[in-house]
Amino acid sequence: MSNQLRTPRIHKVITSPVGRLFHSGLFERFKIASVDREFTVLRARAAADVAGTDVDAFLRELDTPESVDSGMRDSISEALYSHRDARARFQRISDEWNQHFWNGQVSTVDERNELETKRREAGGQWVSPQKTFKFLSKAGWIDIVDFSIPDPASTIEDWSDLSPETVYGAPESIPDVHSSETMQGPETREYLLRFPSPSNFIDDEAYARVYEPWDAPESQPLPTLIFGTGLAMACDVMEYWTEEEYVGRRLAPAGCRVILPIPPWHGRRERTGFYTGEPYLAKMPVSAVELYEAQAAEIAVLTKWARDRGAPRVGVGGISMGGIVSMFVTSYADVWPESMRPDFALPVAASADVSELLFESSLTEILGVTAALREAGWNVDNMAALDDLLTTPSIPGIAPDEIYPVGGLADDMTKYGTLRQTLDEWDVPAANRLEWDCGHFGVTLRAMRTDEFQTFAREAIGGR
């Protein structure tokens, strides 16, 4: 098949011998230093989605000073027209995509592959317009998150008495799960699942992308890994989704099914006026609990969906933000019905204490979350009132020998040292842990590049 979905060139470069250049503390520092500029461009794009081609509306969305000179206004106007065209093209292609994948319009796999390629190319031009708005990355007057931090007193009154077993419990009812038409990836059969989110806090449609061996019969029972992605990933709206390549398309051909849930407020679930993942940052700490609760409930649905298809073994995992979600699932899975309960967990670059992240992580500091919380009146002491909802308990809900964590010993973003203490408390065997001497971004690079991670993940999926 000549036009099957292909691995993007950038991933081939990263996983080639040249990619070893990224294995350094220097790259880690460079990546950290570039975060604020990257998010500035994303915030500009989100404002442009609302403003259209109106420069004044764009500036109001960004709450910018009135003294923007005429040259800058002309540059903004040109960028807005370009962005409008990119967004309109993506919407046209997406409408056609929906007809072929969800609404029954007859098509071949070849035709669907071609349409998917066009959709993701157009999506990248829309949601990650680094060229279009790059000139604003050093403007200095764009806040990279549109914060709306809730008041501590009222939040603590509303949330502190909630039981984590209730918040992170299984959904009360299971929605119908619908499958899209299929595509052919590199040695993979790929399709989408969608269903109404069973969350008590988020009311939208949940999506997940599925990867299976291309040559496996559709009725064949397959061990399944449900793996959550990291913060600000636009997922399959863009051509390059890292977890798709090093998890979905690497593991599935070896004889398993991989499901990549699309988190609330990300990718297909993005809210207009916010970039992918921004609402998670904007309303901390409430938004953290809302996202973790929603994705945990959705993982329960996906676990049952996999079991209904005969999966002999189902696990939950994820990286960074997705890893945090997998830790909460791991913590409370024992209160879920057996049909929804994962057999194993694979948390990567995760955290066991979100309260700590909000005040001590280098990433939340760079993104302005810590300063916004303090300005709203939050501190370490009053945040402790929400510890039951933001930290993992002392006993896991999955057997310790079925927990397979991956972490960076120098990870200051998700505080692997604290997670390590929790793993010790949980009695997770040392043989089950994969640890690298690197920081947060280094963990991602090693997971992407090394056979060590692939072997480790396959052993977790298969069971030791």
Chain-centroid distance, C-alpha 115: 24
Residues 289, 325: Cα–Cα separation, whole Å: 10
- Supply the pLDDT for residue 30: 67
Residue 53 CB: number of other CB atoms within 10 A?
A: 17
- Supply the pLDDT for residue 35: 82
- Supply the pLDDT for residue 139: 83
Give, as one character, the DSSP assignment of residue 442. Answer: H
328 in a domain, yes or no?
yes
Residue count (the chain): 464
- Supply the pLDDT for residue 1: 47
- Supply the pLDDT for residue 464: 63
Whether residue 331 is found in the same domain as residue 260: yes
Please compute, for residue 278, the number of CA atoms within 13 A of its CA located in the half-sphere on the CB side: 24
Whether residue 106 is found in the same domain as residue 157: no
Where are any strands of DSSP class E within 48-140?
Answer: none
- Supply the pLDDT for residue 24: 67
Domain that holds residue 289: 152-462
Cα(first)–Cα(last) distance of the chain, in Å? 37
205 in a domain, yes or no?
yes
pTM given for the model: 0.96
Structure tokens at 8: 């993007």
17 in a domain, yes or no?
no
- Supply the pLDDT for residue 341: 97
Where does a domain end: 67, 102, 136? Answer: 136
120 in a domain, yes or no?
yes
Whether residue 217 is found in the same domain as residue 319: yes
Pairing mode of beta strands 188-196, 434-436: unpaired
Let me know: does 316 contact 324? Beta carbons within 8 Å: no
- Supply the pLDDT for residue 234: 95
Query: Collapsing DSSP states into helix, strand and coil, what is residue 21?
Result: helix
407 in a domain, yes or no?
yes
Let me know: does 58 contact 73? Beta carbons within 8 Å: no
Residues 115, 234: Cα–Cα separation, whole Å: 18
Residues 140, 123: Cα–Cα separation, whole Å: 27
Whether residue 205 is found in the same domain as residue 332: yes
Whether residue 235 is found in the same domain as residue 96: no
Where are any strands of DSSP class E within 76-223?
Answer: 178-179, 183-185, 188-196, 205-213
Where does a domain end: 136, 171, 197? Answer: 136
11 in a domain, yes or no?
no
- Supply the pLDDT for residue 104: 86
Whether residue 222 is found in the same domain as residue 73: no
59 in a domain, yes or no?
yes
Whether residue 408 is found in the same domain as residue 303: yes
**What DSSP letter does each residue of 262-296 carry, written as one string?**
EPTTSGGGPPTTS-TTHHHHHTTTHHHHHHHHHHH
Where does a domain end: 136, 167, 188? Answer: 136
310 in a domain, yes or no?
yes
Whether residue 170 is found in the same domain as residue 312: yes
Whether residue 243 is found in the same domain as residue 356: yes
Please report, for the domain that includes residue 285, its CATH number.
3.40.50.1820
The total number of structural domains in the chain stands at 2
List the chain pLDDT tens, one digit each, 464 residues. Answer: 468 999 998 888 888 887 777 766 666 676 777 788 889 999 999 999 999 999 999 999 998 876 788 899 999 999 999 999 999 999 999 999 999 999 989 999 999 999 999 999 999 999 987 789 999 988 888 999 999 999 999 999 999 999 999 999 999 999 999 999 999 999 999 999 999 999 999 999 999 999 999 999 888 999 999 999 999 999 999 999 999 999 999 999 999 999 999 999 999 999 999 999 999 999 999 999 999 999 999 999 999 999 999 999 999 999 999 999 999 999 999 999 999 999 999 999 999 999 999 999 989 999 999 999 999 999 999 999 999 999 999 999 999 999 999 999 999 999 999 999 999 999 999 999 999 999 998 999 999 998 999 999 999 999 76
Whether residue 212 is found in the same domain as residue 118: no
Whether residue 250 is found in the same domain as residue 303: yes
Whether residue 105 is found in the same domain as residue 204: no
